[in-house]
Structure 1
Amino acid sequence: MIDTIKQHIEEAKAFNDKNKEALEAFRIKYLGSKGLLKALFNEFKNIPNDQKKEFGQVINTLKAVAEEKVRSLQESLESGADNAGKYGDLTRPGMPFAVGARHPISLVKNQIIDIFSTIGFNVSEGPEIEDDWHNFTALNLPEYHPARDMQDTFFIQTNPDVLLRTHTSSVQVRYMESHKPPIRTISPGRVFRNEAVSSRSHCIFHQVEGLYIDKDVSFADLKQTLLYFTKEMFGKSKIRLRPSYFPFTEPSAEVDIYWGLKTETDYRITKGTGWLEIMGCGMVDPNVLKNCGINPEEYNGFAFGMGIERIAMLLYQIGDIRMFYENDVRFLEQFKTSI
């Protein structure tokens, strides 16, 4: 009898089934009102006196083992139930997170960067809070120059020499001051102008400006660079350059692409001409090179600049520039499939 009880002790120790039904069956088998331990205690009176001590010890050992096994497995099951309540079924595949979308401004900016990167342009950045020298004076716009009125500026009231940059040309000045030619860089970034907000203009917008400084750079190099860009960006191979004025380039030009007149939208955005202005450009003024510590007798180059919002509005047929800044999820979700 004692050997049989010892065998039950080993079986109880080995039991490790964490199934709730199996654990309940184990409890009933050993600890139930009609269980094995109840029967063994009833049998105690029939045991010879010389065996009662050992018999009682093995019964108590079996009881302790069975109770501890039931307690530990119940705690394990309850812990698993708590986790399931907090986290759900941990064995199930995880739910996918909703995929976000890049902002259309970021999409267009990255596309422009990729296009110019393939022809050797790197990316340069600078501060949005600028000083007068880098934003105006170094760019051939000395104090009281009438061309400053072309850019309505946010000045810092406590220091009139500090302002919010009106173009990323200030980044080009900083780059020329710290790098020696040859220079081939583009400067994307946010700029600020004190303009009335409407469907076509905003006080905050983004620009990408490019700069190429080297020996014997010609206007033909500028034209071929812009032609390559328009082919890659818009799929348009027809451009024209109209004479214009910018204080920091001479000669200067506005760049138009032939958009076409295939749809009613084409007529509207090109005002019935088929031509659409996309950027300004020109050969860097020698005074700008001199201000940045570059010898204009040895080096020359070209610069160009475009508004990212304007490009995005063309590519995605967006009729109101304010939509870029309203954070309307219905608008932004339309770009989920974009790269």
Structure 2
Amino acid sequence: MTGSPTSSDAARPVDEARIAELVDAALAAIAAAGTTAELKQARVAHAGDKSPLALANRAIGSMPPDQRKAVGRVVGQARGRVNQGLAARQAELEAAELEATLLAERADVTLPVELHPVGAMHPITALIDDMCDVFVAMGWEVAEGPEVEAEWLNFDALNFTPDHPARFLSDTLFVEPVDHHKLLRTQTSPVQMRAMLSRELPVYVVSPGKVYRADEYDATHLPVFHQLEGLAVDKGITMGHLKGTLDHLARSMFGDVRTRLRPHYFPFTEPSAEMDLECFVCHGESVGNPDRPCRTCRSEGWIEWGGCGVVNPRVLRAAGIDTSVYSGFAFGMGVDRTVMFRNNAPDLRDFVEGDVRFPRSLQGGAR
């Protein structure tokens, strides 16, 4: 180390000139230290217990009393200058080393990098959000209800007769004991009844959620799936309002697509209809054309989307609504099948297997 003291330094007489030499040597060694490790060596050599200044401080005790005060002041000031130099150089070196470390370890945060596996919103959740957004934009309310439902709300209030096939154990999952009349809801329609019973008229609600059926688990059926149903009850509601609402929803989900209504029967609506979408793959060109078959619509040109109709007056009366003043419409469609339509997903089981690769593969098309 440059400027390091030698063992002969301690043998020299202690005087102000000698103390000044020791201070200069210490400050030179401190200034020459290029790293904190070198500075540590300079600290030990010039400010440690065996350094010349420390030995000079201990030698004060053996001096005549009349010299101790003057020499003690000189030595104390000298040691203070050395300690101040050490502290200042320590701060400089630590700052320089930190800057060098940060420079060496810096990362370009603008580079694309995937540190952890990235998940994806489930396509069913994404589509439910999109469909609800369409209705919220029209001023409708999103309503939810329990999945374990009373049999009266799920069937009786919706005009299902006691012998209706949907109420059989082969179709409906009842919660034991059966005589408590509790079941896993087979549709989200009970939420509509709850809305009519709890809200002031007019009512405009859309209700998404899980529903349960005693169905087989295969490529086209699930015992647990998702529906989105809507209900509007107001003065002067007609089938035309229903058609316009569903056309707007279809265009929001599928773009410029044609729709049609086919007569059908549901206990809770009268008149009732099934809504079909023009096949957005073949646009009807596969009908009667064996050279261009369409797997999506099975060459029929149309895809069944959901049921709808004008609310049956019996359902309104069950909710205590005056049918001479108010009328309404209701509709419902399967969200899972809608995702299949939009993304050509071949197997419903992929929706529930939990493989993150599936929602990732549909991430671009599900929203």
Check if 1:104 corresponds to 2:123: yes
What SS is found at the alignment partner of 1:268?
A: coil
Deviation at 1:332, TM superposition (A): 2.5
> Which aligned pairs between 1:61-210 and structure 2 lie closer than 5 A?
62=79, 98=116, 99-149=118-168, 152-159=171-178, 160-210=180-230
Deviation at 1:216, TM superposition (A): 1.4
What SS is found at the alignment partner of 1:267?
A: coil
How high is the TM-score relative to the length of structure 1? 0.79
- The structure-2 alpha-carbon separation of the partners of 1:270 and 1:292, relative to structure 1 and needing over 3 Å to count, comes to same
Q: Which shifted more, 45-54 or 179-188?
A: 45-54
Aligned position for 1:27: 43
Kept in 1, the 8 Å contact 2:123–2:363? The answer is: no
What SS is found at the alignment partner of 2:201?
A: coil
Deviation at 1:54, TM superposition (A): 6.2
- Superimposed CA distance per residue, residues 6-53 of structure 1 (whole angstroms, 9 cap, x where no aligned partner): x99xx9xxx9x9x73364155234335874435635865995542236
Q: Which shifted more, 108-117 or 140-149?
A: 140-149
Question: Which whole-Å CA distance do the structure 1 matches of 2:203 and 2:243 have between them?
Answer: 18
Unaligned runs of at least 5 residues, structure 1? none
Question: Which whole-Å CA distance do the structure 2 matches of 1:60 and 1:327 have between them?
Answer: 75
What SS is found at the alignment partner of 1:201?
A: coil
Question: Which whole-Å CA distance do the structure 2 matches of 1:323 and 1:112 have between them?
Answer: 21
- The structure-2 alpha-carbon separation of the partners of 1:319 and 1:216, relative to structure 1 and needing over 3 Å to count, comes to same
For the aligned residue pairs, the C-alpha RMSD in angstroms reads 4.2
Kept in 2, the 8 Å contact 1:151–1:166? The answer is: no
Question: Which whole-Å CA distance do the structure 1 matches of 2:350 and 2:222 have between them?
Answer: 11
Deviation at 1:236, TM superposition (A): 3.6
- The structure-2 alpha-carbon separation of the partners of 1:277 and 1:166, relative to structure 1 and needing over 3 Å to count, comes to same
Kept in 1, the 8 Å contact 2:268–2:315? The answer is: yes
> Which aligned pairs between 1:313-332 and structure 2 lie closer than 5 A?
313-332=340-359
Check if 1:40 corresponds to 2:67: no
Larger radius of gyration: 2
| Equivalent position amino acid for 1:21 in 2 | A
Question: Which whole-Å CA distance do the structure 2 matches of 1:135 and 1:146 have between them?
Answer: 14
| Equivalent position amino acid for 1:121 in 2 | W
Unaligned runs of at least 5 residues, structure 2? 1-15
- Superimposed CA distance per residue, residues 254-312 of structure 1 (whole angstroms, 9 cap, x where no aligned partner): 11111142799971121111210011101100000000111111111110000110001
Aligned position for 1:51: 67
What SS is found at the alignment partner of 2:181?
A: strand
Check if 1:310 corresponds to 2:347: no
- The structure-2 alpha-carbon separation of the partners of 1:58 and 1:100, relative to structure 1 and needing over 3 Å to count, comes to farther
Aligned position for 1:250: 270
Deviation at 1:166, TM superposition (A): 0.7
Kept in 2, the 8 Å contact 1:100–1:336? The answer is: no
Deviation at 1:202, TM superposition (A): 0.3
Q: Number of paired residues?
A: 323
> Which aligned pairs between 1:251-270 and structure 2 lie closer than 5 A?
251-259=271-279, 260-261=281-282, 267-270=294-297
Q: Which shifted more, 158-167 or 174-183?
A: 158-167
Question: Which whole-Å CA distance do the structure 1 matches of 2:292 and 2:130 have between them?
Answer: 24
Q: Which residue of 304, 312, 330 maps to 1:285?
A: 312
Question: Which whole-Å CA distance do the structure 1 matches of 2:361 and 2:69 have between them?
Answer: 83
- Superimposed CA distance per residue, residues 183-224 of structure 1 (whole angstroms, 9 cap, x where no aligned partner): 111000111111110010100001000011111111111111
What SS is found at the alignment partner of 2:276?
A: strand
Deviation at 1:178, TM superposition (A): 0.7
How high is the TM-score relative to the length of structure 2? 0.74
Question: Which whole-Å CA distance do the structure 2 matches of 1:244 and 1:151 have between them?
Answer: 23
What SS is found at the alignment partner of 2:320?
A: coil
What SS is found at the alignment partner of 2:270?
A: strand
What SS is found at the alignment partner of 1:287?
A: helix
Kept in 2, the 8 Å contact 1:236–1:257? The answer is: no
Aligned position for 2:9: none
What SS is found at the alignment partner of 2:357?
A: helix
Which structure has more relative contact order (CA 8 Å, sep 6+)? It is 1
